[in-house]
Structure 1
Amino acid sequence: MTGSPDDREDGDLTRRLDTDRPDPLEPLLRPPTTCLATPPGAFHRIRRRAARRRRARAAMVAAAVAAVLGGVPYLVGAISTSGGDEVVVPTATRSRTGPGPHSPSPSTAPSATSPPAVPTPAHRPPGDPSPGTTGPSGRTVAPSRHTPGTSPMCTASQLTAALGGGDAGAGNLYRSLVLTNRASGACQVSGYPGLSLLDTDGKQIGVPAARDRRTYAPVVLQPGGSASVTIHTVNRQGVCLPTSAQLRIYPPGDTASLVIPGEVTNCDGRFSVTPFAAGTSGNPSA
């Protein structure tokens, strides 16, 4: 039996490879590994960055929650707010105007710093606007007041009333109503009178006169001076109410009235009055 000299000398090849001699190829096939050391302070920096990120996220969540909670009252208010039918009476200003688009000069307008309370008399006819309340046309009637340095508002006890001349055209009837100052001192009228038609028993016929929309300014009446308005009706058109036997006139800002004889007929619902103008010819200009 023949074999290699190595086999004869060392036995089989496996026993030779399992010896304690180092393998000459191991340094080439398995080089030594060198691990890098952790830089100083790296772990602490990582922890600080993580903590900052956590705090930033918590701040953002808190801000979002605060924004949502802060918006709840506004949302509830928007849902609960509705355009109700509450009537809001405008506060008094330094000037008083009629229903027209323009206002009189502030130098002649009475002060609105301390308007007195004005009672509503029980004898005022239904529908007649009392001072400080809203009349049939929806306009608030300012109460009587007096500013130092200006003439006080005329009262019924200082005035006389009378029907003046008339005019007609295109089925329309116009009649002036004149108020004259019979007192010894000056006073003023400003705006519209309250005007109602009465029968022979003093009962009101229909509704009070509506207001012809136009601008106006206060009219100062010296003793014996007059101011007038124009009454507008139509000549027997549509449905006509009974012709009046008397007229009841409330001067602007007064709760007392004047009653005078006068025949006026409200036809087709056309019964209106202009604001006061100086003189006795009414206020026909538009």
Structure 2
Amino acid sequence: MPRVIWGTFAVAAVTALAGCGGGSSNAGRTSSGGDGPTAQSGGTSSSPSGPTTGGGRTPTVSTGSGGSAQEPRCTTGMLAASLSGLDAGAGNRYVTLTLTNKSGKHCRTGGWAGLQLSGAAGRIPTKVFREGTARTIVIPNGGHAYARLHWAVVPADDETGTTCEPVADTLKVIPPNQTEAVSAKWKYGPVCQHGEIRLTPLATAPPA
């Protein structure tokens, strides 16, 4: 699992917002506490992700996972979400998001999910930075797709109080191309730096 000092994120964000396309280091940003995002097309991300839709249109780049237009698109009702595999180091936290296909048939998807932290009082500020390059994938019936979440537990200079941000108990996950969310239990404490989460695109193998 990579270790990234949070102080480098500001540089990464500036680079991402400077232009579209390019390599897999580009990332997009938005606040999940406000308006919905602009839809994201396929390929490397440099546009925002947000709470009201998954990460834009399904990428047209196909992998060896058998993706084709003949497979139905994965909808929210076809999927279940869970979080696992907490890893920690140098003020950073990592977990794996797993989407499980419970539909009874194969389906295709690809790109980045939308994320929204939520607690007893409602929505909690969530800002998603997209990393990596999107690929079209097929999730077999009963199979899984994976993404990695990465956030900081080191408060920003203007974050004060007992915790840097309110503590969530639920992560709402919106699959790519969808507007409805599926919920996963959140038991990982506050997300500092104003709710910033770095997210990889969905893949057929768990993140290394």
TM-score normalised by the chain length of structure 1: 0.49
1:1-286 matched pairs, under 5 angstroms: 101=22, 126-129=34-37, 131=39, 137-138=47-48, 142-143=56-57, 149-201=69-121, 203-207=122-126, 209-238=127-156, 239=159, 240-264=164-188, 265-269=190-194, 270-279=196-205, 281-282=206-207, 284=208
Kindly indicate whether structure 1 or structure 2 has the higher relative contact order, using CA contacts under 8 Å at least 6 residues apart. Answer: 2
Larger radius of gyration: 1
From the two aligned structures, give the one with the greater helix fraction.
1
Pairwise CA distance, 1:165: 0.8
Shift of 1:145: 9.9
Identify, as 1 or 2, the structure richer in strand: 2
Structure 2 unaligned runs (5+)?
Answer: 1-19, 25-31, 61-66
Report the alpha carbon displacement of residue 132 of structure 1 after superposing the two structures with TM: 6.8
**1:38-94 C-alpha deviation (Å, 9 max, x unpaired):** xxxxxxxxxxxxxxxxxxxxxxxxxxxxxxxxxxxxxxxxxxxxxxxxxxxxxxxxx
- SS of match in other structure, 1:271: strand
Provide the alpha-carbon RMSD of the alignment. Answer: 3.3
SS in 2 for 1:184: coil
**Secondary structure of 2:87's partner?**
strand
**SS of the residue aligned with 1:249?**
strand
Q: Secondary structure at the match of 1:268?
A: helix
- Which AA in structure 2 matches 1:206? P
Q: Which runs of 5+ in 1 are unaligned?
A: 1-98, 104-123
Question: Do 1:137 and 1:210's aligned partners in 2 also have CA atoms closer than 8 Å?
Answer: no
Q: Are the equivalent residues in 2 in contact too, given 1:229–1:274 (CA < 8 A)?
A: yes
Q: Conserved in 1, the CA contact under 8 Å of 2:46 and 2:130?
A: no
Deviations 1:91-133 (A, max 9, x none): xxxxxxxx76259xxxxxxxxxxxxxxxxxxxx9734436579
Q: Deviations over 1:231-275 (max 9, x none)?
A: 111124332211101111100001111123213422123322111
| Residues 232 and 271, structure 1, Cα contact 8 Å, conserved in 2 | yes
Do the aligned partners of 1:234 and 1:267 also contact (CA within 8 Å) in 2?
yes
Aligned partners of 1:132, 1:174: CA distance in 2, in Å? Answer: 24
Say whether the 8 Å CA contact 2:115–2:173 is kept in structure 1.
yes
* Partner secondary structure for residue 157 of structure 1: helix
User: What are the Cα deviations for residues 182-233 of structure 1, in whole angstroms up to 9, with x where unaligned?
Assistant: 01111122010000100124x11013x4223321312210101101111111
The amino acid that maps onto 1:267 is C
CA contact (8 A) 2:97 2:146 kept: yes
Q: Distance in 2 between matches of 1:229 and 1:100?
A: 21
Q: Is the CA contact (8 Å cut-off) linking 1:199 and 1:246 kept in structure 2?
A: yes
Contact in 2 for aligned 1:144/1:252 (Cα 8 Å): yes
Q: Aligned residue for 1:77?
A: none
Moved more, 145-154 or 258-267: 145-154
> How many Å apart are 1:166 and its aligned residue?
1.5
TM-score (norm 2): 0.65
Aligned to 1:58: none
Q: Which secondary structure does the structure 1 equivalent of 2:183 belong to?
A: strand
